[in-house]
Chains A and B, each alone.
Chain A
Amino acid sequence: MSEKQGAWPASPPAGGAPPPGEPPPGQAPSFGQALISAILDGNPVVVTILAIIAAVVLGGLLIAFSDPVVLHLWSTFFSNPGAAISAAWDAAAAAYSALIEGSILNPHTVAAAFHGGSVGAIFYPLSQTCSDATPLILTGLSVALAFRAGLFNIGAAGQWVGGAIVATYLGFGVSLPPVIHVIVCLIGGFIGGAVIGWLVGELKARTGAHEVIVTIMLNYIMYNLLSFLLGTPTALQQPGQSNLISPPIEGNAALPHVGGPPPQVDAGFLVALAAAAAVWWLLTRSTIGFRFRTVGANAGAARSAGMNVERTWADAMLVAGGLAGLAGAAVILGPLQQITFNSYGTYGFDGITVALLGRGTPLGVVLAALLFGALHAGGTNMEAATQVPSDVVQVLQGLIVLFVAAPPLIKVMFRLRRTGGADLTVSKGWNA
């Protein structure tokens, strides 16, 4: 019964010897002792880091033991165990170093820069990471904001589509002066997603329809709506095309690039950071945010305190939908420039994992999105360099969140004393 140990404070052993890791009474703990104590106490940051480590180790095993060369050597393990183990290590190390080279820093570009190569190339992997993180920050914020109001938003994908459709329409359908056009498109994207989100909240408020099931259904409705609009020549379809693809947006509607040569980071990243700041302000400094958090913490108490719980659900889903819609706009106006029938990718579901890893706080979401953005960017490079399919990134993502969501497991794996603060309970069943 390992999970029980956290519940009861361990009774001090008879004889009074202090448990290891804690300073004897009357002495100030040294920095090292404090650090060890913090790690053993398993605060949320430590748990998250350990979860990432555990996921990377498991992912490494998966990479190594699906490699044909490694498998062949392991079939002759007893004749040459050293070769088998080192081959497994090499396979995993090669994949992970390609992943890091594609997401953070490639040493070859640094060396090349010293020999007259491009300095900008050094920052290419980082810019790719930021670019991949942009929609994840926004969908992550969407899911996180709903979490804080006690709602589970599986529908970021559908809201993404709603925002992307409006942004694309405004992008190619109207002509406006430079800066204004892109701002109008972003606002349109926010509204497009907000309408879908609001519908969910309003249905829950009026009829009690569970948001999980409504958002799942709305995802499929929006996917089909997108295909329908892209297949209708008078709607979104590019003239003269039979494929499901829209016309490209106008130049004025495109998000401008920031910071020179590696043209990967566009202003969408800044929009996402600004949105994170705005959500932080909304949640911690505004009356609406207080309502969100109170309803999320205890809807019954919020009702007793005179808050309109139903109104709050609708408001929270409206903002959450808007953020996911903004993600759609950022992808269309940034890297894609036009929309196709499957542009929505996995942004919506990735947003859930980002929000969980970020523990529902805006800062956490940004950091988690940067981590997953790095995994995405690195995964592409890894697949190109070592032929390890980039789907392994999805496995890593899943494992990380699984371990973060189950702190007692991490506690057992790493023999921590206890795990604190990692409460990720959001749902109270279908009837709540």
Chain B
Amino acid sequence: MTALVAPPSLALPVSSTRRYVAAGSFILFGLIDILLFGLFAKPGDATFVFTAGGTAHVPELPLPASTVCYVLGAASILIGVARAVADPGKVWRRVSIGVVLVFFVISLLCWAYAGSAIPLNVVNLLQSTMNLSIPLVLGALAGCMCERSGVINIAIEGQLLLGAFSAAVVASAIGGLWLGLIAGSLAGGLLGLVLAWFAIAYLVDQIILGVVLNVLASGLTGYLNDRVLVPHPDLNTGNTFGAIKIPILGDIPIIGPIFFDSTIFLYIMYALIILVQVGLFRTRWGLRVRAVGEHPTAAATVGIRVLATRYRNVIMGGLIAGIGGAYLTVGSVGTFSKDMSSGLGYIALAAMIFGRWTPLGATAAALLFGFANSLQSTLSTINVPIPSYILLMAPYVATIIAVAGLVGRVRAPAADGQPYVRS
């Protein structure tokens, strides 16, 4: 089979022009900070509050809005110029992107809250960021597990939905939120098994399979919701896990309430991020999984069981995504409602690609999506002249820019999506 080779005109300039594209976009962000947010900010201070209910009091921080925007904008432009002149190492490249984005967000918030009577509660904003990110992070981790072993998982959306449904029903019917969590996880794993079975045993095109499984999950849960849950509200009671405060860490001002005072799902998420990252990149098991995803024939030659590895990984991925689904019901709103995953699985997929198929990268991307969502709902409570729908678009536009190679070329595992047939 002839490999698809990128045309020579495209292969080269990506890396050489990337520097100038990055520098240009940094300068553009700086100009927006100054010209849009700085000049058009209302007179007055933007007040930032760092105290959430029940924790130690942290003094408020009033910032002169326009001045902050000018300073941060100028700093962004300087970083852009520096970036155009010299190429720092890989680490500094990433740090510079992060810094410019943070400056941009701070300028945006200064502009939005300048002269506003309502202060911005930063802790609440970041708390809801973490909560909104949980299903995205878990979905993206599930994607990493599957795709690192060479099976494309578009069915994350369906796994979230089925997990949410099963968790709500089991938690209500049998009673016991933990059983609900386990049931949600198992439901996701079951869909993973179906995905693996059709993809591996019947060689069905994996992208098609994922889309079809999503349709099935949406239809099945929607049907059972109308047919069973609506007439029997006792099967959908809406109990949720309470917040667990980690003893000492949870009392740290600012950081405590954001990271260490949440439901069990947040802590499961931490554990899974570490487990999947270390597992895939620091253990023998992970090396084998990645070998199967990159070059299954070579892996088989040295005695790795390719198909068993793929089955195992896809099912484990499903179990993880199922936990994310369970969060949607027993971890957050309680009751199941039709199509409640509302595209989160597809965003998790994008986060995984954005994060270049690494658990840590995917987590960062998922947090970015979560933050954009949280920011949008926070800003919608005050009267900002920026339409919330435009803000909601931002992460999707960012993803397109990312996959278009402007931030950096993404490369999937080489055998991702290709069935392995023993020869």
CB of A315 closer than 8 Å to a CB of B: no
Inter-subunit contact B404/A209 (CB<8 Å): yes
Q: Which residues of A contact B154 (CB under 8 A)?
A: 212
Interface of A is mostly: helix
Inter-subunit contact B390/A224 (CB<8 Å): yes
CB of B346 closer than 8 Å to a CB of A: yes
| Given A221-B393, A394-B218, A389 contacting B349 (CB threshold 8 A) | no
Q: Which residues of A contact B393 (CB under 8 A)?
A: 220-221, 224-225
CB of A136 closer than 8 Å to a CB of B: no
CB of B198 closer than 8 Å to a CB of A: yes
Which of B207, B222, B411 contacts A394, CB < 8 Å? B222
CB of A27 closer than 8 Å to a CB of B: no
CB of B223 closer than 8 Å to a CB of A: yes
Question: In the complex, A62 Cα to B389 Cα: how many Å?
Answer: 39
Which of A395, A424, A427, A429 contacts B216, CB < 8 Å? A395
Question: In the complex, A233 Cα to B10 Cα: how many Å?
Answer: 43
Q: Which residues of A contact B219 (CB under 8 A)?
A: 391-398
Inter-subunit contact B223/A66 (CB<8 Å): yes
Q: Which residues of A contact B132 (CB under 8 A)?
A: none
CB of A326 closer than 8 Å to a CB of B: no
List which B1-36 residues lie within 8 A (CB) of chain A: 1-7, 10, 14
Question: In the complex, A212 Cα to B219 Cα: how many Å?
Answer: 22
Inter-subunit contact B396/A221 (CB<8 Å): yes
A17-25, A172-180, A295-303, A316-324 - interface stretch: A295-303
Inter-subunit contact B215/A398 (CB<8 Å): yes
List which B285-318 residues lie within 8 A (CB) of chain A: none
List which A165-206 residues lie within 8 A (CB) of chain B: 203, 206
Inter-subunit contact A213/B403 (CB<8 Å): yes
Q: Which residues of A contact B60 (CB under 8 A)?
A: none
Q: Which residues of A contact B105 (CB under 8 A)?
A: none
Q: How far is the CB of B331 from chain A (nearest CB, A)?
A: 23
Question: What residue of chain A has the Cβ atom nearest to residue B205's Cβ?
Answer: A425
List which A323-361 residues lie within 8 A (CB) of chain B: 349, 352-353, 356
Question: In the complex, A224 Cα to B373 Cα: how many Å?
Answer: 13
Inter-subunit contact B202/A409 (CB<8 Å): yes
Inter-subunit contact A431/B412 (CB<8 Å): yes
CB of B67 closer than 8 Å to a CB of A: no
| Given A225-B389, A429-B412, A398 contacting B213 (CB threshold 8 A) | yes
Inter-subunit contact B202/A430 (CB<8 Å): no
| Given A3-B202, A152-B207, A209-B404, A300 contacting B222 (CB threshold 8 A) | no
A108-116, A266-274, A400-408 - interface stretch: A400-408
Q: Which residues of B contact A218 (CB under 8 A)?
A: 396, 400
Q: Which residues of B contact A54 (CB under 8 A)?
A: none
CB of B275 closer than 8 Å to a CB of A: no
Question: What residue of chain B has the Cβ atom nearest to residue A408's Cβ?
Answer: B202
Question: In the complex, A212 Cα to B399 Cα: how many Å?
Answer: 12
Inter-subunit contact B227/A429 (CB<8 Å): no
Interface string of A279-317 (1 = CB under 8 A from B): 000000000000000000011110110000010000000
Q: Which residues of A contact B207 (CB under 8 A)?
A: 152, 212, 426-427
Question: In the complex, A34 Cα to B399 Cα: how many Å?
Answer: 55
CB of B353 closer than 8 Å to a CB of A: yes
Inter-subunit contact A394/B405 (CB<8 Å): no
Inter-subunit contact B152/A154 (CB<8 Å): no
Q: Which residues of B contact A209 (CB under 8 A)?
A: 400, 403-405
Question: What residue of chain A has the Cβ atom nearest to residue B207's Cβ?
Answer: A427
CB of A388 closer than 8 Å to a CB of B: yes
List which A40-71 residues lie within 8 A (CB) of chain B: 62, 66, 68
Task: Give me the interface of A with B, judged by CB distance under 8 Å.
Answer: 3, 62, 66, 68, 152, 154, 203, 206-210, 212-214, 216-218, 220-221, 224-225, 227-228, 231-232, 298-301, 303-304, 310, 349, 352-353, 356, 388-389, 391-399, 401-402, 405-406, 408-409, 424-432
28 residue pairs of the A-B complex, CB under 8 angstroms, read A152-B208, A206-B404, A208-B405, A210-B353, A217-B350, A217-B397, A220-B396, A221-B396, A221-B400, A224-B389, A224-B393, A231-B389, A232-B387, A300-B5, A310-B7, A388-B227, A391-B219, A392-B219, A394-B215, A394-B219, A394-B222, A394-B223, A397-B219, A402-B204, A405-B204, A405-B205, A408-B203, A427-B208
